Amino acid sequence: MRVPALIAAGVALLLALLGSVFVVRAGHSAIIFRLGTVVRTDIGPGLHFKWPLVENARIFDRRLKILPAEPERYLTADKLDVSVDFFALGRIQDMRRFFQATGGDENVAAERLAPIIRDSLRNEINSLKLLDVVKGDREAVIGKQLEAINRGAATLGVQIQDIRIKRIDLPQDSNVLASVYNQMKSQRLQVASQLRAEGFEQSQAIRSAADRDKTVILAEAERDAQRMRGEGDAEATRLYGDAASKDPSFFAFQRSLDSYRKAFADGQSVIVLDRDDPFLQYLKSDR
Q: What gap in Å lies between CA 153 and CA 147, rounded to an integer?
A: 10
Ranges of H-type helices in the chain? 2-19, 95-102, 106-125, 130-135, 138-153, 176-246, 248-263
- pLDDT of the residue at 63: 85
DSSP 265: T
In a domain, 179, yes or no: yes
Quick check: 21 and 49 in contact, CB under 8 A?
yes
Same domain, 240 and 253: no
Q: Which residues of the chain have pLDDT under 70?
A: 1-19, 136-138, 171-180, 247, 249-251, 267, 271, 273-287
pLDDT confidence of residue 176 = 60
User: Does a structural domain hold residue 128?
Assistant: yes
Asked, for residue 127, whether it belongs to a domain, the answer is yes
The reply to whether 93 and 170 lie within a common domain is yes
Closest CA to 133 of 173, 175, 191, 79: 79
**Contact of 132 with 88, CB cutoff 8 Å:** no
Flag whether 9 is in a domain: no
- Name all contacts of 270-276 with Cβ < 8 Å and 24+ positions apart: none
Based on the fold, state whether residues 69 and 168 are members of the same structural domain: yes
CB 141 within 8 A of CB 134: no
Q: State residue 239's pLDDT score.
A: 77
| Structural domain for 26, as ranges | 16-61
Q: Are 54 and 83 in contact (CB under 8 A)?
A: no
First to last CA, the chain: 179
* Of the candidates 108, 89, 113, 77, the residue with the CA atom closest to the CA atom of residue 166: 89
